[in-house]
Amino acid sequence: MKTAQQSASFKKALRQRTALVWMLCFGFITIILFTSTTQLAISYRTALATATERATSKSFLIAEWVEKSFELTRFVLQETARGFDAQELIYPTTNPEQHAQQTAWIIERVQRAPNFVFLGMLDRDCVVTHTTIGINLGFDALAHQREYCTLAQKEPLTGLKVSNMFTSVDHTQNVTVSYPLTDATGALDGFALAGLDLSFFQQWLDLIELEPHNVITLYDLNSRLLARKPFIAQNIGMQIEEEHLNRMAKNPSEEHYSHRLISPVDGIERIWSLRRIGDLPFIVVVGEQTSAAIATWRQMLFLYLIAATSLCLSLIFGAREYIRNFQQAMEMHLLATTDPLTSLSNRRCFSDSANRMLSHYNTLAHHKTQNQPPVLIMLDIDHFKQINDCYGHDIGDQVLIDISRVIKSKCGKHHLSARWGGEEFVLLLPNTDLNTAIEFANQLSQQISKLKSAPERTITASLGITTYRAKESLESLMKRADVALYNAKERGRNRIEVA
């Protein structure tokens, strides 16, 4: 019975060990995947945040540059406005000589600013009184509803005022910039007006070193494209319909905004930084290509996938190999302790288990525990050689197998049973009195006699029984049982003898 229990125990242990190993394996895989995914998510957000910060910094620097570039314009217009009195802003002039001197003077001013298309003075009614291009003298801007006239007359009257972009007669993109001339009460007496060629924006942007597929653009408050790096000629002056750009153009309080978007101009997804340029009617937009921003992250993703896959596969194959080795070790242990024909314990396994049982009994006896001593039964098949000679070894083997099944069926959970050698079997029954052991042996003998393993032959067995004596060795116990078995055979076989 011990071997069947051992086999079942090993199977249970294999199932438990297999479940534990796979649980640990998939637990480690889960940790690896969670850690990798978390790290990749953090790296991804960091890559996007870094690209956003770069775009934000660039937009800030470019906005600063555009503001500073208008300082020269502000200075020239301020100097020009303060060089005139309100009485001099008359057209047609009453003093041609003075008019000619003043015109020469503003021509000299315009040469300080290479991006000026023209420079002139207008009276409070928006009539051109002085200009660097004579064809505009006397032009009534108010009557022609020019935007710069409306801006100049609009409160507050102080400060630089810039119009939206317009296309001039020579097809260049321009804006007008005005600076007021006011009297002591702050009323408008006139204003200096300059036309600026916006191509200088493009010329400056072209000087900037820019990574491939990144973009720098300038828009006016009508969302029209003023300049772009890289330059796309057909898009300059185009009005761009984009939600965030349009919202910022209409909302003076919104100074900066960052987001991700596929460009409506070239269809490339970028991380955008939009920034309003101070009090000027311009918005600078810097775009960092998303795929370039996360290129390093993608390399990390590839490496993580390879590493995680390799590690997970190593864990899986390692777990399989461990389970296979564990199973082989258990099978080898079973082979080393089990009789291969009957599946009962072999002599070595029985001896080890019996010695432990006897040692346990001696320990209990030392503490005066009221336990019955173990009883050893030795069984030998009668005339087994004749069975082999008459019917062949196949039948003989079947007889051994069938008797082992009878023994297994009769043995309890704590009983030991084994094939001792040849046709001999041994059983050790713990905590058993002699009468119970004799009854057990009788039942065993009766069950064996009912076997039909050999054709037309009754299988019988002789049994020797002996009770363990405290502190004696297993060898001594076995010798007494062997004497009892010998007596059973000498007295006619198919019987039970006690020693």
Residues tagged active-site: 423
H or E stretch at 179: strand 173-182
Compute the radius of gyration of the chain from its Cα atoms: 54
Whole-number Cα distances in Å, 61 to 209, 308, 371: 14, 42, 97
Structure tokens at 297: 């992250």
Q: Torsions phi, psi of 350, nearest 5?
A: -65, -45
CA 216 – CA 158 distance, rounded (Å): 32
CA 6 to chain centre: 45
Which residues, in sequence order, are bridge partners of residue 171? none
Return the SS3 of 475: helix
Query: What's 239's DSSP letter?
Result: B
Whole-number Cα distances in Å, 228 to 178, 222, 231, 237, 238: 25, 16, 5, 11, 11
Question: Treating both helix axes as pointing N-terminal to C-terminal, what angle do 434-449 and 393-410 enclose, rounded to 10 degrees?
Answer: 140
| β-strands 128-131, 215-220 pairing | unpaired
CA 143 – CA 16 distance, rounded (Å): 97
The DSSP annotation for 298-319 comes to HHHHHHHHHHHHHHHHHHHHHH
